Structure 1
Amino acid sequence: MSMDSQRAPAISQANAPLHLGPEELPHCFVLPLLLGEEDLAGLEYPDHLGEVDLVGGYYDAGDNVKYGLPMAFTVTTLSWAAIFYHPQLKAFGELSNVHSAIRWGTDYFLKASSKLNHLYVQVGNPVADHECWMKPENMEEGGRSVLEIDEKKPGTEIAAETSAAMAASSIVFRNFNKTYATHLLNKAKLLFEFAKTHKGTFDGECPFYCSYSGYNDELLWAATWLYFATRESAYLDYIEDNSISAKVAEFSWDLKYAGAQVLLSQTSFETFKQQADSYICSVLPYSPYHQVYISPGGLVHLRDGANSQYVTSTAFLFSVYSDLLAKHNQQVTCGNQQYNSNHLIAFAKQQMDYLLGENPEKRSYMVGFGNNPPTQAHHRGASVPNLSKDALAKVSCPMSFVNWFNKNVPNTNELTGAIVGGPDRYDKFKDLRSESAMTEPTTYTNSLAVGVLAKLAATTHSANI
């Protein structure tokens, strides 16, 4: 979705990055624009900690809460796209926009992790937030609760994912801002030590971001990114001697094994190549080991509720692994069947094409692009108009739902580029703000779309020359 629109505080439209228009690309590879307004939120102060500068970072979706785990995953995957598809992003003039989006997150994480073995992991009370339908700049000042982890209250998943984000982003910045990249990498190392030394699951973000998979995947994921950022054998030793991996059929903010396995598939560890192959075999619909549900129209469908995140994560991993297989002249073996890089990129393309309009509903699931795109994204900033102080003073939280949430009208502000949750398992979709499972966008849905869209756009562009 629009990464700019999720910035806390968001930037003004005058400072929003340029983007390529859909006429220049086969399937709308755009880094999203900001809402047509100025979204400036104030400083956020935890009640019990004194003044702490936690300005920045991203709201995860349609609410006004900053969750550390999905935010870090957003930055990690966006960094992966910037690294792996650097030439394509540069060719389309989007690389600097990706760098800006990454840095908005890493600047926040540097502040949130300024103390040793301590990390602020959430800003805002989701229960209170969900009782009010207001834009972030109209939130009541003060009273923004803050959650944190430390040695006594560990949160291995969040610490390790934040380490991965810092390590991956350090690779992004080291060729043109070595000082900043070194700062990020040093912080990544400290956070990894914190994560693996003080182990424990943090459930403070439940029921919204519960870590159902545990923390072993994040530890493997962080060690993997630290190895690629440093090439230090200590991280390979950790991966070989201490990490735990597993065969999975999903890659998401909660489950990172498949991502690490694809990254490690070209190292000396044959196990990870086998596990990466297993992931592909579990997803490909014509594989003998197929496990993942595919809708009648051909869409990966793992769960109701922002299912498009699993679509873009699948497409991204298939795209990356396709390139790695082609580079090393390898194939994926699924029982007595073998699949090459062309099979993988074709499936990735089919998934993205579905989201952008080639589906039974004949509609796009990206706001502002294609045929009959969503107009009622479940998003406070997009649906609430600009309000004067006098008008704002007359609106209570209960009335905010009457005024803007429940009305069956298009959003006041277009959330250009946001990929919404998408259709159900039968390819049916309701463009209603109240249908959050279908219409709510998330940052990680779009961060995972950037790389594969850049790849597909470049491929199509080359074919047309």
Structure 2
Amino acid sequence: MELKALPALVLAWFAISDVLFLSVKGTFNYKDALTKSIVFLEAQRSGKLPPHSRLSWRGDSGLDDGKIENVDLVGGYYDAGDNVKYGLPMAFTVTSLSWTALFYRSELQATRELENVHAAIRWGTDYFLKCTPKKNHLYVQVGDPVLDHQCWMRPENMKTPRTVLEIDESRPGTEIAAETAAAMAASAMVFRRSDRRYSRRLLNKAKLLFEFAKSHKGTFDGECPFYCSYSGFNDELLWAASWLYLATLRPKYLQYIQEEAITANVAEFSWDLKYAGIQVLLSGLYFEGEHSLETYKKQADNFVCSILPDSPYHQVYISPGGLIHLRDGANTQYVTSTAFLFSVYSDMLARHHQKVFCGNQQFDSTHLMAFAKQQMDYLLGKNPLGRSYMVGFGNNPPTQPHHRGASVPVLSSNSLVNCAMSFVYWYTKNAPNPNELTGAIVGGPDRYDNFDDQRWDSSKLEPCTYVNSLSIGVLAKLATHPL
């Protein structure tokens, strides 16, 4: 089914950015920040790299991934500063990139970054297709995280075991299966215009993975303690059903959303907790006439009300400098995720002449976008320290991101380095990384706006793919709609 054949309900939902131009005051070179944010995702690629890579210091890696199980699992993404491929955060990265590519298509075209975003998505979906060789089976991790974290080595030279984890009917993993289904359904919509055959493959896999996730419920804890699903799997099931409904318009998925799904009021959106994203996503359909989804609009409002500082229901901590701070450890993931949802929701509200109601107060689309812009501006340099938290961008950006590939110099392919000594050589060395991790948004300052550029402090210096993936849509909007 081609995109142009979809009913007006979904076409209008995804056409918002084509007809709405919400002006915001320009402060930074958002186009430059956008480009660099995408470049960081390219630095996280595993596998055989394309011939014209934009990062000369990255090379091929993980070319034997899956060999231990006689399967080809080459490709995909490293999640952060280590060399493990985790299924749950990788799938969320692809889902959020796909949402961005759909919702901000015209902005990405205007900035000439749409093809790069499509390439970033496809790098993930090509890998996921390899991870689903048969029904009710999904490979969910490559690499031994315990041993990997005992060696500070760039992926091109790693010698640590490439252990493979998988889920099936006897070892279910509802969260990962459903998130991967969401990623494939959303990306199927992205490629429907340009590659219908590939799009159909993704959508068929998404349908099967959703049925697997729904019929074999259970939390897979194999990625703990690195990626534990504290929120359970109900949000991922609803997330997957929502994307499948948008991709197919089949009543069975809407019925699941209406009758079987469990939802909740929340104050964050992350790789683990999807409810706020679902609520904003489904509000778009509610505004287009699907009145059975009114609850989700109310919950989207509640999410906004829990965050805005001038809301009577505000509950999220805001630093003295104005930054959302939910918890230490890659806190910027909550900053970019909130900014993205506020940006998308502001466009929806403006298009349909709606407002957010927080008790006796009302907030319009411009108010939401102003807050989203404030959060992104903080990361780019408008903060008490006057420094950027994006590597290679703005004033006094981080030079020591907690990242193996960037902090270890390029070595010959036959170099042998003792793992214990690798920390002495490169991890504890108080000097800028030899390779610039361009575009990486690091973990960011603490709750009091304090920050030290020291590699060992992973909570402040480690970047993650899902931090950047959620920054791209907002940056594209800010780059194309200045005052």
- State the TM-score bracket (shorter-chain normalisation): over 0.9
1:232 deviates by: 1.1
Residue of structure 2 equivalent to 1:7: 45
One of 390, 403, 420 as aligned partner of 1:398: 420
Name the structure 1 match of 2:242: 224
Match of 2:55 in 1: 34
Name the residue aligned to 1:421.
Answer: 443
What does residue range 91-110 of structure 1 map to in structure 2 within 5 Å?
91-110=110-129
Q: Is the 8 A contact 1:63 1:130 kept in 2?
A: yes
CA separation in 2, counterparts of 1:389 and 1:273? 54
- SS of the equivalent of 1:105 reads helix
Please give the per-residue CA displacement for 1:427-450, whole angstroms capped at 9, x wherever unaligned: 000101101000000000000000
Tell me the CA shift for residue 139 of structure 1.
1.1
1:300 paired with 2:324, answer yes
> Residue in 2 aligned with 1:209?
227
Aligned match for 2:279, one of 261, 271, 277: 261
CA pair 371-327 structure 1, distance change in 2 beyond 3 A: same
Q: Which of 68-77 and 37-46 deviates more?
A: 37-46
Specify the alignment match of 1:28 in structure 2.
Answer: none
Deviations 1:60-102, CA, capped at 9 Å, x for gaps:
0000000000000000000000000000000110000000000
Deviation by residue 1:355-413 (Cα, 9 ceiling, x = unmatched): 000001100000000000000010000000111356x22x2000000001000000010
C-alpha distance in 1, partners of 2:298/2:412?
59
For residues 315-367 of structure 1, the C-alpha deviation after alignment (integer angstroms, 9 at most, x for no partner) is 00000000000011100000000000000000000000000000011000000
Quote the residue 2:255 is aligned against. Answer: 237
Aligned to 2:33: none
**Comparing 132-141 and 347-356, the one that deviates more:** 132-141
Paired with 2:159 and 2:225, the residues of 1 have a C-alpha distance of: 24
Cα distance in 2, alignment partners of residues 207 and 58 from structure 1: 19
Pick closer, same or farther for the CA change 1:176–1:378 going to 2, 3 Å. Answer: same
Matching of residues 174-185 of structure 1 within 5 Å:
174-185=192-203
| Residue in structure 1 matched with residue 359 of structure 2 by the alignment | 335
Structure 1 segment 364-403 matched on structure 2, within 5 A: 364-389=388-413, 392-393=415-416, 395-403=417-425
* 1:129 match: 148
- Distance in 1 of aligned mates of 2:279 and 2:432: 42
Structure 1 equivalent of residue 186 of structure 2: 168
Q: 1:432 to 1:35 in 2, by over 3 A?
A: farther
Report the CA distance between 1:38 and its aligned residue: 2.5
Cα distance in 1 between the residues matched to 2:62 and 2:463: 20
Q: In the alignment, is residue 252 of structure 1 matched against residue 270 of structure 2?
A: yes
Secondary structure at the aligned position of 2:471 is classed as helix
1:17-56 aligned at under 5 Å gives the runs: 33-34=54-55, 36-45=57-66, 47=68, 49=69, 51-56=70-75
**2: CA distance between counterparts of 1:428 and 1:453?**
25
User: Using the alignment, how far apart are the partners of 2:182 and 2:55 within structure 1?
Assistant: 27
Structure 2 residue 457 is matched with structure 1 residue 435: yes
CA distance in 2, matches of 1:381, 1:306: 18
Question: Which has the larger displacement, 380-389 or 325-334?
Answer: 380-389
- State the shift of 1:8 in Å: 0.6
Identify which of 374, 379, 382 aligns with 1:355. Answer: 379
Equivalents in 1 of 2:159, 2:82: separation in Å?
14
Give the number of aligned pairs.
Answer: 439
Which residue, 62, 84, 88 being the options, matches 1:65? 84
Distance (Å, rounded) in 2 between the aligned partners of 1:226 and 1:195:
13
Residue number in structure 2 paired with 1:310? 334
Letter in 1 for 2:134: K
Question: Which structure 1 residue ranges, 5 or more long, are not aligned?
Answer: 17-32
Q: Which runs of 5+ in 2 are unaligned?
A: 1-36
Residue by residue over 1:113-152, the C-alpha shift from the partner in whole angstroms, topping out at 9 and shown as x without a partner, is 11110000000010000000001110127x3111100000
The answer to whether the Cα contact below 8 Å between 1:118 and 1:149 also exists between their aligned partners in 2 is: yes
Q: Which TM-score applies when normalising by structure 2?
A: 0.89
Q: Does the aligned pair in 1 maintain the 2:66–2:74 contact within 8 Å?
A: no
Shift of 1:35: 5.4
The separation in 2 between residues aligned to 1:445 and 1:286, in whole angstroms, is 26
- Asked if the contact 1:46/1:146 (under 8 Å) is kept, the reply is no
CA contact (8 A) 2:43 2:58 kept: no
Residue 10 (structure 1) shift: 5.9
Indicate the SS of the match to 1:120.
strand
Query: How far did 1:54 drift?
Result: 0.2
SS of corresponding position for 1:342: helix
For 2:107, which of 88, 94, 99 is the aligned residue? 88
Sequence identity of aligned pairs in percent? 69
**Bigger CA drift: 33-42 or 154-163?**
33-42
Structure 2: which amino acid aligns with 1:459? H
Q: Tell me the SS of whatever aligns to 1:3.
A: helix
Q: Is the Cα contact below 8 Å between 1:35 and 1:413 reproduced in 2?
A: no
Q: Deviations over 1:148-185 (max 9, x none)?
A: 00000000000000000000000100011100001100
Q: Matched residues in 1 for 2:65 and 2:412: separation?
A: 22
Q: Which residue of 2 aligns with 1:410?
A: 432
What is the CA-CA distance between 1:34 and the residue it aligns to? 2.9
Normalized against structure 1, the TM-score is what? Answer: 0.93
Query: Is 1:323 the counterpart of 2:344 in the alignment?
Result: no
Partner Cα distance (1:378, 1:341) in 2: 37
SS at match of 1:15: coil
1:253-286: per-residue Cα shift (whole Å, max 9, x none)? 0000000100111322110000000000001011
Aligned-residue offset at 1:212 = 0.1
User: In the aligned structure 2, how far is the partner of 1:166 from the partner of 1:144?
Assistant: 25
**SS of the residue 2:421 aligns to:** helix
Distance in 1 between residues matched to 2:320 and 2:76, nearest whole Å: 38
Task: Output the CA distance in 1 between the equivalents of 2:55 and 2:448.
Answer: 32
